[in-house]
Amino acid sequence: MTRWLIAAATAGFITVAAASIYAASNAPDGSWVPGSGSRGIILPRDAELAATNGNALLVDVREPDEIQHGAPLGANASFPFRLDGSRDEDFVAEMVGVVRGKLDTKIIRLCATGVRSAAARDLLLDHGFENVKSLVGGFVAWQRDGLPIVAGRSQAGR
């Protein structure tokens, strides 16, 4: 129980800290504004607005079994990202294909809590992608904010 409380308190602190950093790098209307440096973050409501307005591509990097339990409406499922680096080359190659070689495409990455999507963002930026952000708090925050979800989606046709 104590570990869970510490984890929850830490996650809450990280979300608040990220929101403070984030505030200077994103416009309130969901438009894309580069922040300080290129390693950006975005909050769920703004990510949903940017994706809905066609300002960014929302891409889910979770494993297929995670996506089966629900996914953000409008999110594209990608090759799952793994923190151990075992699939980095395949992951980058697939993303180059998804954006048809246009490395300046605005992309918002999301995972369950924001850890994998931040690492995926960094990997893509290190490989020449120019406009990649990570969804703060991931799918957990998306659900918490009551944003639209598609239930039971598979990764078929990713």
Q: Which of 42, 111, 125, 135 is catalytic?
A: 111
**Residue 134 CB neighbours (<10 A):** 27
In this structure, are residues 148 and 75 in contact, taking their beta carbons and an 8 Å threshold? no
State the Cα–Cα distance between residues 14 and 60, nearest whole angstrom.
21
Type of residue found at 78: S
Active site (annotated) includes residue 111: yes
Question: Shortest CA distance to 73 belongs to which of 91, 99, 47?
Answer: 47
Q: Which residues pair with 42 in a beta bridge?
A: 135
Q: What does the block give as tokens for 157? A: 């046709």
**Which residues carry out catalysis?**
111
